[in-house]
Every structure is written in C-alpha cells, then in structure tokens.
Amino acid sequence: SAERVQLARLVLIGSGVIGYAGGLGMKYATGLEPAERKVSWAGPAFATVFYAAALYHWAPIEVSPIGWAIWALVLLEVGLRLRWIEIRVLAYALATAAVGLCAALQDTIWVATPGASPWQYTALVALLLHVLAWRVAVPGTELAKPEERLSVSPLVAGGGLYAAATWALLPGPLVAFSWMVWALAINEVGRRIRREDVSLSALAMGAISFAFTLLANVYDIVPLEPASRAIQLVGFAGVVTGLYALHARARKTPGSPTLLKVSEGGAFLHLGTVLFATVLWHELPSVAVAVAWGALAFVFIELSDRVEKSALVRQAQVLLLAAVIRLFFANFVVFGETFGLSHRVVTV
C-alpha cells in the first residue's frame, strides 16, 4: 500500500542519515583506538547503498544514473574537503555504478523501445562525470599519485557517454565531428593543467573520430541516418581540420615526451591528409580526383617552407605519385568531355 511505501522510504532515509552521521562521529570522536577509527567508513558505505537502492527502486530507471552521479559528486566533495579517502572511494564506486547502468540502458531499454531517445539522460550523466573528473584532476588538496591518475577514468567514461549521446542526437556526418570537438577541447584542458594522460585521451578520441568517418561517412560500413550533402561536407571538413589541429597543438605541448613523440611521428598530420585525399576521391567526379590530389600536393609544397618541412614534402611526393598513377587508370582511359573539351586535354 501507499502507507507502507512511504514508511519504507522514511526508514531508508533515516538509516542513511544515521549511517553518515555515525561515520562522521567516529572519524572525529576523541578517545577511540586507531583500529576503531578505521571502520568509520562502514556507516557511510551502508548509507550510500541504501540511497542508491532507494533511487533505483522508486525513481524511473533512466533517472537513476543521474541521481547516482550527482550523489557521487557530493560524496567526492565531502571527501576532498574533509580529506577522507574512504568517502572518495565510495564516490568513485557510485560513479562507476552510474556509468554501468547508463551503458546498460543504451544496449537494452533504448534499443528495445521504438522511437526512444536516450541522449538527454546520457548527456547529463556525461556532463556530471566530466565535472567529477575535473574535481579529481584539480582537487585543491594533495592526493596520492594513483588517485590523481584516476581522474582519467571518469573522463574516458564521460567521453564515451558523450559519444553515445551525440550519436543518438546528431545527423550521421556530424557525429564524428562532434567527437573531434570533444577531443580538441579536452586536449586543451590537458595542456593547461599539464596532464599528459588527459591529452592522450583526447588524441585517442581524435583517432576514433578519424576511423568512424572512414567507416560510416566515406564507405558506409556503419549505417547512419542519411543527411544532406552540405552536412556531409561540414562533417568531413571538421574532422580533417581537427586532425591537423591536434597535430599542431601536440607540437606545442611543453613537458610531454609522449605527445612530443606523437608530434614528431606526424601521426595526426598523416591521418588528416589520408582522410582529406580519401574524401576528395569519394566526393569529386572520377576525372577530377587526380587533379585535386596534384593541387593539394602543390599546396603542401608551398606550406612546407613555413611549417613541417620534411613531413609535408613527403606527403606532397606521395600525393603526386598517386595522382600520376591514377591518370593512367581513371583519366586518360575515360571518354567524354568537360566544357566541350576532352577529359584527356583538360587533365593535361
């Protein structure tokens, strides 16, 4: 009955309050042995379980991850201000449960419900996880090294949920572009707070964005909702520009040996050029591809005097070689005219 439900709620809330109050009292009580003080986390642990179970039982299931993530932030803030590591561990555990339930919703309830759109709830959980990651990365108090590195975990989880939300919300060609925007923003945050692991997470998302663009937007291996040509071009341009930007920012990141190696290897510079050339191949008429590759090669040669001399020259050489080879297979053997002139004449 309604009265029993109300009574159960009061019992759970009261038990939670007693648990947190008891744990706090034991931690700061005088006259206790160290062994007794060490178990002060037990009461808050039981209280956290009570609250999480109550929210899961009585609230709509899609709201539960949001409530858990909010309460994890509260516990983290208390743990940071009181320098209470056990409470922070409870916050991390509750945040992990929120990620797990939110991910489960993506694969079960939303897929099984026609017309359902989880992006609002997923995006909110992702936002809360980013806030939690920020508080661990910039705690305002001294943390142990393993706990400092832990900030990457909620960041990666939040990035994954952000990716799921944008996939559900945006047109297909803009999905990878939105992921690239996240990568650029997180890379800047990592540079500002001098956290190499945060910047590496951003580079990983940039690489995923590149792969997704090839699989979903160029070769249609991953099915997506159709979109206009203008949206497709915006998505392509955004990802290509983002890859070049990630390379440029990695070159200017101080005190980061790993990012310096990535920059020196030119990984994202090469990925950007590969995607650019592939998009030209995909979008342009067959007889114009080789000409476009040649034009791009000359642009790289011109830019090589200013930036990335060796890498851009090598890329220009590869593009010119590919353009010349393609001429004999796609231009000189194709009949037809452009503006009244033979394709062969136009190509030459």
**CA–CA distance, 208 with 195 (Å, rounded to integer):** 21
Contact 125, 99 (CB under 8 A): yes
pLDDT tens string 300-347: 888 887 776 678 888 889 998 988 887 776 655 555 555 444 555 555
Mean pLDDT of 91-119: 72
Start-to-end C-alpha separation, the chain: 85
Structure tokens at 142: 């001294």
- What is the spatial distance between Cα 40 and Cα 22, in angstroms, rounded to a whole number? 8
pLDDT(293) > 80: yes
How far is Cα 116 from Cα 260, in angstroms, rounded to an integer? 44
Q: What pLDDT sits at residue 336?
A: 56
| Per-residue tokens: 315 | 């890329």
Question: How many other CB atoms are there within 10 angstroms of residue 288's CB atom?
Answer: 19
Split at pLDDT 50, 70, 90, the class of 112 is very low
Q: How confident is the model at residue 114 (pLDDT cuts 50, 70, 90)?
A: very low
Q: Is the dihedral of CA 238, 274, 322, 228 positive or negative?
A: negative
pLDDT at 104 over 60: yes
Mean pLDDT of the chain: 80
Helix H or strand E segment including 341: strand 341-342
What is the structure's pLDDT at 146?
76
Give the predicted TM-score (pTM) of the model: 0.83
Say what the pLDDT of residue 337 is: 55
Give yes or no for residue 127 having a pLDDT over 90: yes
Instruction: Print the SS3 string covering 23-39.
Output: HHHHHHCCCCCHHHHHH
The predicted pLDDT at position 111 comes to: 47
pLDDT, average across residues 160-169: 88
- In sequence order, which residues have a C-beta less than 8 Å from that of residue 150 and are 6 or more positions away? 92, 136
Residue 72, pLDDT score: 93
Give the pLDDT of residue 45: 81
φ/ψ (deg, to 5) at 39: -90, 15
pLDDT at residue 344, rounded to an integer: 56
For residue 15, is pLDDT > 50?
yes
Q: What is the pLDDT averaged over residues 165-193?
A: 89
Per-residue confidence band for 115, with pLDDT thresholds at 50, 70 and 90: very low
Predicted local distance difference test score (pLDDT) of residue 309: 66
**Per residue in 32-86, pLDDT tens?**
566 666 666 677 888 888 888 888 887 888 888 999 999 999 999 888 888 878 8
**Partners of residue 337 on adjacent β-strands:** 342
CA distance 310 to 202: 26
